[in-house]
Structure 1
Amino acid sequence: METRGVNHVEGGWPKDVNPLELEQTIRFRKKVEKDENYINAITQLGSIMEHCIKQNNAIDIYEEYFDDEDPVEVTEEAPSAKTINVFRDPQEIKRAATHLSWHPDGNRKLAVAYSCLDFQRAPVGMSFDSYIWDMENPNKPEIALRPSSPLVTLEYNPKDSHVLLGGCYNGQIACWDTRKGSLVAELSTIEFSHRDPVYGTIWLQSKTGTECFSASTDGQVMWWDIRKLSEPTEVLIMDISKKEMLENALGAISLEFESTLPTKFMVGTEQGVVISCNRKGKTPAEKIVCTFSGHHGPIYALQRNPFYPKNFLTVGDWTARIWSEDSRESSIMWTKYHMAYLTDGAWSPSRPAVFFTTKMDGTLDIWDFVFKQCDPALTLKVCDEALFCLRVQDNGCLIACGSRLGTTTLLEVSHGLATLQRNEKNIASSVFERETRREKILEARHREMRLKEKGKAEGKEEELREEETATDLEGLVTKAEEEFFEVIFSELKRKEKDAMKKKQKPKRNLEEEEEMLDQEMEGEEERGEEETPA
């Protein structure tokens, strides 16, 4: 006895239509709906379908005939995780594992980028190689990728698993085809590349599967086509003042692109600001839509929730924050401030309420905000050195963590942390909506308070101005009064002096007459003495 499975792809699409591409399927549907035979086919199928539905209602094919057995009790296991494998950097001079990427088909391989991010402190003789590891063989890497400069980021092409895109420390973009070996297949020219290390690279959803874009701390986001990597197809400067000044640009350190929102992308910067951009904007100024600021340091991780793309996770400084596009002024949820610096974060692809964060003290935190909001549901000490990066496998079971000394640890989380819980989507949605609503109310309240304070400040200014004008008027009045009284007093003094002069004149005449009389009397006495005989 053997069990076989058949992978059923939705619909009977023609070979030239990719069912995963939304635009192609919509175009094909519109084309089919315009066809005359379409209505006839639908009416014919309608009667057959109706017969099948009636038959299905008459006979319950899911009827349980042996339901007498006691139901198995489902025990809620505590969150846990175990280490499956450890992949160590084979080089003697150790480098940090800076980026991880899972193989898109089967997830049996893991690409790891190695480089030293300490500014101008790369050890002498350090290897530039990065590796692709097989999950079953931790002793030796499957393929070595040999760039011209150490790789900061490395990403598998989701459409072609043989092709990998790398961002180099010197700012160049490199491309590999594993069928052709370890050497670089395509490399951007250094004069048209970034001026700083390339911290983010993402493949775009395109018909060719060759388009991608990159971000660097030089403040630029560049779009590329790997068929012609000599120069970028487009460049956007991260100047939030919208003046396209490179000296004012914010250094980009993380990127986010959701394929369901093909025109939107987000950039996390060194300055703790998330810039939301729209690629459909005609001018670079129109492409920068809005900003979200809330971190004190670089934003090392930025990712939209896979179930609710309006909500996104950022990791920077000592916290992880969850944001809503509807609330721009502040985050709607956040973790407490940790003692150790946070280095990376990611949502679980299978559970909307679960996310993971790594810290500088070598611990991995698994958060489940449906279960617990203040503390992580599970904290694991992965290694003694700092963890630099993490990547979750598509099924949500396996997590790879890269450390400062180039050790990549593979962990498997318990079934409960990887499996969608009953009613979890509705709970997560209601939590996001409730927190967004709460934040909007608080924002409105803060705005109101600011306006009141502004009004008070303006009122105080007016009062001061009035007081100043009043004091000015009082001063002018007192000055006028003083001047008026000065004139009066001076006039009075002058009149008094005149009166005094008039009074002094007759006194002088009397005195003169008395003096004259005295002189005459003295003369007569002298003459009388001369006349008397001796």
Structure 2
Amino acid sequence: MKCLLFCLCQAELKKEAVPLQDDSDLEKKRREADALLQSMGITPDAPVGESQPSHVHSNPMRTDGCFSFRWLNNVGVVPSYDMCVCVCVCVCPPRRGPLKLAMVKVTHVDFPPKEVVSYTKETQTPTVTEQKEGKTVAPPHELTEEEKLQILHSEEFMEFFDHSTRIMERALSEHVDVFFDYSGRDMEEKEGEMQAGTKLSLNRKFVDDHWSRQRVVTCLDWSPQYPELLVASYNNNEEAPHEPDGVALVWNMKYKKTTPEYVFHCQSAVMSAVFAKFHPNLVVGGTYSGQIVLWDNRSNRRTPVQRTPLSAAAHTHPVYCVNVVGTQNAHNLISISTDGKMCSWSLDMLSQPQDSMELVFKQSKSVAVTSMSFPLGDVNNFVVGSEDGSVYTACRHGSRAGISEMFEGHHGPITGIHCHTAAGPVDFSHLFLTASFDWTVKLWSTKSNKPLYSFEDNSDYVYDVMWSPVHPALFACVDGLGRVDLWNLNNDTEVPTASMSVEGSPALNRLRWSQSGREIAVGDSEGQIHIYDVGEQIAVPRNDEWTRFVRTLAEINENRDDAEELAAQRLAA
């Protein structure tokens, strides 16, 4: 950068003459300097201060009656980005007077350099200085053995642990087929099996090595509120005398876990168990000692929350039959023991029965009841099977309360009895089935005291029988050889429609249809529960099944009449 120093001085005229050529050259340069200053916006005659700048040349050129100027390089005096223009006008006083400053103008112009911004990680993210170490945290308090035991046995910990483990078991037992092919190749491979019509297939098996192994399954029941829950009661384990004699386990079909959802037990073998209808959290059990016990899954206790007394007012013999009948606002627990005593209870108070009666036939013969069933929608009339092989109809109320009629036909104790429950356009509630030690299943009607038909395809004790809840002509039975049979009477009455044998051939003691009629739960003598899926082609009824079953029953009645007539002719001969 350059600093222009223009000094204008006026001095007295010298004696010696100045050539004309010098005046013209000086005037020319003065005009050039003025033009330069004007182009920079500087007026030479602006007022100035009194002080003389330090950078004015100490020996300017002087001429008579003219101006003197000089260019000076001032680099190093001002910064590289500054341009300093200094104009000094010195007016020389007369020869006899002192020097006098007339005009000085200084203009200071700054041109800042172009700012170049570069972004780096340090620019965008402030550097976090290393935190100073704080105070040392004291280690947690180490619990003593006594404190640990106190926590483990606290009610809060037990409730938390029981709830958490149940959820974790559900999660860990889930298995999903990630290789499933939605293009249909998997279905093509199974097409042959589907066409073959597999009507019974094993879905899963429930068994617990500690609680159910080596125990006989005595009863099964599906929850009416939660269709995925199944309760099973078990007899005592003779090889574990220190374990509770009675056990009831609640299994969950919804999750693939292998442990029971709830474990309940008591000090007497549980011979029957049902979910309390209208009370989804309650499970009722009938014991070998005669007590009725009540478990509540809301409680952390595995033992009963209520139980009936062992007194003459209640049961003192084994209770094989328990059932909750009625409506939401008016329902009772019905129980019958093997001595023929029937009691009616309120689930809110099991200290004494609301009503009781002795089931005797013709006021002389005591009925040793082994099984019981109520027709669909009926809370007063019911049927029972006995140890002597007879079947009885009875009613709870009215002038004829007690045993009404006796049905004879079996030659061994009745092990299972079940009334028709499939609702449809035709009422078949008068029909019921019985199973017996005489290796047969018999079809009955309350309108006749003789069996309508006898199914004799089994080669061992038939332990249980049950109608399908949705199909009018379909029922299932189980026997001591480990065989499950499905009978569709509209298709055939001579041989089962489908059969399945359990691996190992354990005796099958109990069976129970699910509410949908698509699954069957079967319990055996080794404490195992087998869940079978029933094929759609046999489980789901067609629209004409009810009318077809009417014709089937008519044919059965005709054949029975012909058989009775033929038997009478032979007897007469």
Structure with greater strand percent: 2
Which of 335, 343, 355 is matched with 1:214 structurally?
Answer: 335
- What residue number does 1:78 align with? 197
Describe the shift of the 1:349–1:263 C-alpha distance in structure 2 as closer, same or farther (beyond 3 A): same
Which of 292, 296, 309 is matched with 2:411 structurally?
Answer: 296
- What residue number does 1:463 align with? none
Helix, strand or coil at the partner of 2:289:
coil
Task: For 1:324, give the aligned amino acid.
Answer: S
- Are 1:271 and 2:388 matched, yes or no? yes
Give, in whole Å, the separation in 2 of the partners of 1:77 and 1:433: 32
Which of 486, 492, 500 is matched with 1:372 structurally?
Answer: 492
Give, in whole Å, the separation in 2 of the partners of 1:78 and 1:256: 33
Q: What does the per-residue CA deviation read over 1:143-164, in whole Å, with 9 as the maximum and x for residues that have no partner?
A: 1112232211110122221122
Q: CA deviation at 1:336?
A: 1.4
Q: CA deviation at 1:80?
A: 1.8
Task: For 1:419, give the aligned amino acid.
Answer: V
Give, in whole Å, the separation in 2 of the partners of 1:300 and 1:273: 11
- Are 1:157 and 2:251 matched, yes or no? no
Give, in whole Å, the separation in 2 of the partners of 1:412 and 1:347: 16
Segment drifting more, 403-412 vs 151-160: 151-160
Q: What does the per-residue CA deviation read over 1:452-503, in whole Å, with 9 as the maximum and x for residues that have no partner?
A: 89xxxxxxxxxxxxxxxxxxxxxxxxxxxxxxxxxxxxxxxxxxxxxxxxxx
Aligned ranges for residues 18-29 of structure 1 at < 5 Å?
none
Give, in whole Å, the separation in 2 of the partners of 1:235 and 1:446: 43
Task: For 1:343, give the aligned amino acid.
Answer: Y
Q: CA deviation at 1:183?
A: 2.8
- Are the equivalent residues in 1 in contact too, given 2:376–2:419 (CA < 8 A)? no
Structure with greater helix percent: 1
Describe the shift of the 1:293–1:90 C-alpha distance in structure 2 as closer, same or farther (beyond 3 A): same
Q: CA deviation at 1:448?
A: 9.6
- What residue number does 2:434 align with? 314
Aligned ranges for residues 502-521 of structure 1 at < 5 Å?
none
- Are the equivalent residues in 1 in contact too, given 2:229–2:252 (CA < 8 A)? yes
Helix, strand or coil at the partner of 1:167:
strand
Task: For 1:389, give the aligned amino acid.
Answer: R
Describe the shift of the 1:442–1:134 C-alpha distance in structure 2 as closer, same or farther (beyond 3 A): same
- Are 1:140 and 2:259 matched, yes or no? yes
Q: CA deviation at 1:268?
A: 0.8
Helix, strand or coil at the partner of 1:223:
strand
Q: CA deviation at 1:440?
A: 5.4
Q: CA deviation at 1:207?
A: 4.5
- Are the equivalent residues in 1 in contact too, given 2:375–2:420 (CA < 8 A)? no
Q: CA deviation at 1:138?
A: 4.0
Which of 212, 227, 231 is matched with 2:348 structurally?
Answer: 227
Q: What does the per-residue CA deviation read over 1:201-234, in whole Å, with 9 as the maximum and x for residues that have no partner?
A: 1111145355111122222222211222112222
Give, in whole Å, the separation in 2 of the partners of 1:122 and 1:230: 34
- Are the equivalent residues in 1 in contact too, given 2:375–2:430 (CA < 8 A)? no
Q: Percent identity?
A: 24
- Are the equivalent residues in 2 in contact too, given 1:97–1:402 (CA < 8 A)? yes
- Are the equivalent residues in 2 in contact too, given 1:219–1:238 (CA < 8 A)? yes
Which of 100, 111, 116 is matched with 2:220 structurally?
Answer: 100
Which of 197, 204, 218 is matched with 2:318 structurally?
Answer: 197
Give, in whole Å, the separation in 2 of the partners of 1:397 and 1:151: 28
Helix, strand or coil at the partner of 1:430:
helix
- Are 1:129 and 2:129 matched, yes or no? no
Q: Which has the larger radius of gyration?
A: 2
- What residue number does 1:9 align with? none
Aligned alpha-carbon RMSD (Å)? 2.5
- Are the equivalent residues in 1 in contact too, given 2:360–2:402 (CA < 8 A)? no
Task: For 1:288, give the aligned amino acid.
Answer: I
Task: For 2:324, give the aligned amino acid.
Answer: W
Helix, strand or coil at the partner of 1:436:
helix
- Are the equivalent residues in 2 in contact too, given 1:344–1:389 (CA < 8 A)? yes
- Are the equivalent residues in 2 in contact too, given 1:115–1:150 (CA < 8 A)? yes
Aligned ranges for residues 77-476 of structure 1 at < 5 Å?
78-91=197-210, 94-116=214-236, 124-127=241-244, 128-135=246-253, 136-181=255-300, 182-191=302-311, 192-208=313-329, 210-243=331-364, 248-282=365-399, 286-307=401-422, 308-317=428-437, 318-328=439-449, 330-336=450-456, 338-384=458-504, 385-436=506-557, 438-439=559-560
Q: CA deviation at 1:435?
A: 2.4
Task: For 1:132, give the aligned amino acid.
Answer: V
Give, in whole Å, the separation in 2 of the partners of 1:349 and 1:289: 27
Give, in whole Å, the separation in 2 of the partners of 1:232 and 1:441: 48
- Are the equivalent residues in 2 in contact too, given 1:297–1:316 (CA < 8 A)? yes
Aligned ranges for residues 61-72 of structure 1 at < 5 Å?
none
- Are the equivalent residues in 2 in contact too, given 1:79–1:377 (CA < 8 A)? no
Q: CA deviation at 1:406?
A: 0.4
Task: For 2:445, give the aligned amino acid.
Answer: S
Give, in whole Å, the separation in 2 of the partners of 1:270 and 1:89: 32
Helix, strand or coil at the partner of 1:222:
strand
Q: What does the per-residue CA deviation read over 1:37-65, in whole Å, with 9 as the maximum and x for residues that have no partner?
A: xxxxxxxxxxxxxxxxxxxxxxxxxxxxx
Instruction: Give the unaligned 5+ runs of structure 2.
Output: 1-193, 423-427
- What residue number does 2:141 align with? none
Give, in whole Å, the separation in 2 of the partners of 1:445 and 1:339: 27
